[in-house]
Structure 1
Amino acid sequence: MKLGYLAFRNMVSKPLNLLLSLLLLSLSVSLVTFVLQLSQQLGGQLNKNIAPVDMVVGAKGSPLQLVLSSVLHIDVPTGNIKLKETSMLQKHPFVQTAIPVSYGDNYKGFRILGTEIGYLDHYNAQLSEGELYEESFEVVAGSNVALRLGLKVGDNFISSHGLAASDSEAHDEHPYTVKGILKPTGTVVDQLLITNLESIWEAHDHGEEDHHEEDHDHEEGDDHNEEGHHHEEGHDHHEEDDHHEEDHHHEEGDHHEGDDHHEEGHHHEEGDDHHEEEAETSEEHDGEKEITSLLVKFKSPLGMVQLPRFINENTSMQAALPGFEVQRLMGLLGSGAQTINGIALAILLVSGLSIFISLLKTIRERRQELALLRTYGLRTGQLLRLALLEGIFLALIGFVLGWLFGRLGIWGVSQYMQTSYGYTLQITGPEIVELYLLGLILVLATIATLLASRSIFKLNVAKTLSDA
């Protein structure tokens, strides 16, 4: 215990040397632990969210952007696709499920996603209270959305156009009603307000309907003007018609029944044409419905081999594989992580050199103190142990500070991701890799201490004391 106290006092007696060694050591440890935690947690989050989806079908563009927007909901979509064009995929024998998703609105920065109930089943999302949506403009709220916005079952809110938080272009005519709150899943569902597809279509078709109503009113006005014009003409010729009315009365009576029959047939044909036009208009409207993307789960691995290539080469749509795109993204991040780890290793070696220089300088400056300790009965092995304790204390303090700084960095990134993307990172305890790093640091500090303490074995007590 006395040796430990003495080693600690020796270490803090040179604050500048101590500060430099701790700064280098803690910097290297914080970089390594931060990068390890960030890559592991990001990889885990991404893999968990893409697991239910084998393929994403959307508009042409960047496949990575398509995956990020449609599966992870952290980017803007590449565009829309016709719902009618995806029907052949939904019926394909290689496809197990094909769930359409559509979005374009938000509420205070949280996306409103139009989809089917099967989307919730993919992520094993369950209700904590309330019920699932059944009608248009009914939503279920993810756990994080409900927590951060204070939403409760029965609350109403008005969405805003776009994916970023904004009060502009609010859809005042279509308020949403919260029907249920979901339990936490640890997936993207926690960050979404989920409704049916019809809600998204109706919210965005409202402007077009207003436009059609204006056109219809305009046509009615034209018809009214024409009727007035014909009425005036009829008034001008009224006297002339009266003059010839008696002459033609008999002839009109003869042809009256035939004219009525002809008019009935004419109106019947017009009615049939009108119904046909309505049916064609309805079919055309259904064919024009758009979605953002289609999330596909395969029955057979052959689907992953054949369908993406077929879609990309023979249709106006694009197919992207989330597993491949996320692996490519993590590869890019991995290159950066390796670079940072290489820098951290270099700093770690420099910190080991700093410990060696600091201890070497300390031992040389305290030769007289070490000689006095020998006269008090301490052996050479005990003096070496004193130096080793000083080096180990320095390594342990540097590791603890570096580990804390690394976790502080994870907390900062988590706050940023929570605000920007709705994702959170966990603050975990020391992991096995970090314990290996601690062992490496202790070995490095021990080697540096032994190299710096070689002069202890050559210490001449009498000569050192006489020189003092």
Structure 2
Amino acid sequence: MLSILLLTLSILLATFVLQINKQLNRHLEKNSKPFDMVIGAKGSPLQLVLSTILHIDNPTGNISLDEASRISKNPMIKEVIPLSFGDNYKGYKILGTSSQYLGKYGATCKEGRLNTKNFEAVFGSEAAKNLNISVGSAFVSSHGLLQNDIDVHDEKPFVVTGILAPTGTVVDHLIITNIESIWDVHEHEHKEHKEEHKEITALLLNFRNPIGALQLSRSINKDTSLQAALPKLEIDRLLKFLGIGFQTINGIALAILLVAGLSIFINLIKTVRERKHELALLRTYGATNFQLLKLVFYEALFLSLIGFILGWLLGRIGVLLFTTLASNAYKYHLEISIPDEKEFFILIIVLFTTILATILASYSLFKLNISKILADA
């Protein structure tokens, strides 16, 4: 039982970390890949990327539409997508942007149509499912990015024109409208500056070549009041920090696996010693040393496979529990997938450890003094 428990724990940790690491990398790459640069207010570049691309942090602030427009006219820039947010509906972020944004993630309508007018909105698949929203429904936004019933814009209701098909990206958890709707919702807060001081949250840019991104990034950060962040660079930095934690947990899992292998080895030695009379009898009935070795190996293999299967199942249950937390906190779902090549590699290591433990523990089988053992019995 101790051998199975140790092996189960090591496999649980190893497979859980592998799945989290693999899916997190895929999720971050899939959501950040469509854009070369983010421009927003001064602050942390990582926070800027997390808030505008992954939508899991608060924005660094707003920027002037005029200043953003001047930058977007740079000839090195191929494509510009503005973002504006600051409101939510029952905890789901309402994002004001252009129609190009949905195209970047390959989002299409499963029901209804895309928004074309002010105060029309489309819901991501997860947002629509969790909020039980249907095409034609009306809703009002609340100020801020967290659910609240205090600062509600009752005078400016939105109409749902479409439900998006699942994309496996952040779009699934967003409510999309146009930027003009975001401005109109808040115009009572800035009536005297309605036209002169329009603001947005950020710009998402794509360049004609990679050199343009590096050159403009340095120029913006040095010569303007804005901040430019490169999503790939910031995501790589984030994964580097997270990777240290993943490596630590994998190291612990490996250490437990070695202890489990040692436990199996000790268990087999004990088995051979306690059953030497039985094994000696089998030899008298014609069993060969190799057949006795197979008996011991099958017992060790049974322990190893039970431990591996239990560890893999508990690892997947761990992923399922983690995805519940991730869905609530970050609006992201992990998938329960079949074993991948790395998990098969772990199985090979377990089997190799089992064979090695069997060979070492069964060395005494070849030294059985049958007549003495049976005489002592």
The TM-score, its normalising length taken from structure 2, stands at 0.98
Distance 2:190 2:80 in 1: 29
Query: Is 1:322 paired with 2:304?
Result: no
Identity of aligned residues (%): 56
Match of 1:81 in 2: 63
- Return the letter of the residue paired with 1:144: E
| 1:285 shift after superposition | 4.1
Query: Is 1:30 paired with 2:12?
Result: yes
Match of 2:248 in 1: 339
Tell whether the 8 Å contact from 2:65 to 2:200 is kept in structure 1 after alignment: yes
Equivalent residue for 2:54, pick from 62, 68, 72: 72
Match of 2:300 in 1: 391
Tell whether the 8 Å contact from 2:45 to 2:227 is kept in structure 1 after alignment: yes
Distance 1:70 1:395 in 2: 47
| 1:376 shift after superposition | 2.3
**Unpaired segments ≥5 residues, structure 2:** none
**Unpaired segments ≥5 residues, structure 1:** 1-18, 213-283
Query: Is 1:138 paired with 2:120?
Result: yes
Q: Map of 1:142-153 to 2, 5 A cutoff?
A: 142-153=124-135
Tell whether the 8 Å contact from 2:124 to 2:175 is kept in structure 1 after alignment: yes
Match of 2:351 in 1: 442
Distance 2:50 2:196 in 1: 27
Distance 2:210 2:294 in 1: 63
Q: Map of 1:159-174 to 2, 5 A cutoff?
A: 159-174=141-156
- Return the letter of the residue paired with 1:314: D
| 1:117 shift after superposition | 0.9
Distance 2:34 2:12 in 1: 35
Aligned CA RMSD, in angstroms, stands at 1.1
Q: Map of 1:285-434 to 2, 5 A cutoff?
A: 285-434=194-343
| 1:89 shift after superposition | 2.0
Q: Which has the higher helix share?
A: 1
Tell whether the 8 Å contact from 2:8 to 2:307 is kept in structure 1 after alignment: yes
Tell whether the 8 Å contact from 2:7 to 2:304 is kept in structure 1 after alignment: yes
Partner SS for 1:296: strand
Moved over 4 A (4+): none
Tell whether the 8 Å contact from 1:82 to 1:287 is kept in structure 2 after alignment: no
Match of 2:189 in 1: 207
- Return the letter of the residue paired with 2:304: A
| 1:378 shift after superposition | 1.5
Tell whether the 8 Å contact from 2:13 to 2:250 is kept in structure 1 after alignment: yes
Partner SS for 1:453: helix
Summarize deviations over 1:77-104 as a string: whole Å, max 9, x none: 0100001001122211111111110101
Distance 1:148 1:449 in 2: 53
| 1:337 shift after superposition | 0.9
Summarize deviations over 1:39-69 as a string: whole Å, max 9, x none: 1100001100011111000000010000000
Distance 2:208 2:107 in 1: 22
Query: Is 1:59 paired with 2:38?
Result: no
- Return the letter of the residue paired with 1:104: G
Moved more, 370-379 or 458-467: 370-379
- Return the letter of the residue paired with 1:153: V
Tell whether the 8 Å contact from 1:31 to 1:344 is kept in structure 2 after alignment: yes
Bigger radius of gyration among the two:
1
Distance 1:183 1:455 in 2: 65
Tell whether the 8 Å contact from 1:100 to 1:115 is kept in structure 2 after alignment: yes
Match of 2:79 in 1: 97
Partner SS for 2:186: helix
Distance 1:307 1:287 in 2: 26
Query: Is 1:125 paired with 2:34?
Result: no
Match of 2:95 in 1: 113
- Return the letter of the residue paired with 2:323: S
Tell whether the 8 Å contact from 2:37 to 2:231 is kept in structure 1 after alignment: yes
Partner SS for 1:286: coil
Distance 1:134 1:329 in 2: 37
Match of 1:267 in 2: none
Distance 1:287 1:300 in 2: 34
| 1:134 shift after superposition | 2.3
Summarize deviations over 1:134-158 as a string: whole Å, max 9, x none: 2221101111111111111110011
| 1:324 shift after superposition | 0.4
Tell whether the 8 Å contact from 2:114 to 2:121 is kept in structure 1 after alignment: yes
Summarize deviations over 1:109-148 as a string: whole Å, max 9, x none: 1100011111111111111222222222110111111111
Tell whether the 8 Å contact from 2:277 to 2:374 is kept in structure 1 after alignment: yes
- Return the letter of the residue paired with 2:95: L
Equivalent residue for 1:197, pick from 179, 186, 190: 179
Distance 2:337 2:234 in 1: 28
Summarize deviations over 1:153-199 as a string: whole Å, max 9, x none: 11001111111122221111111110111111111111111111111
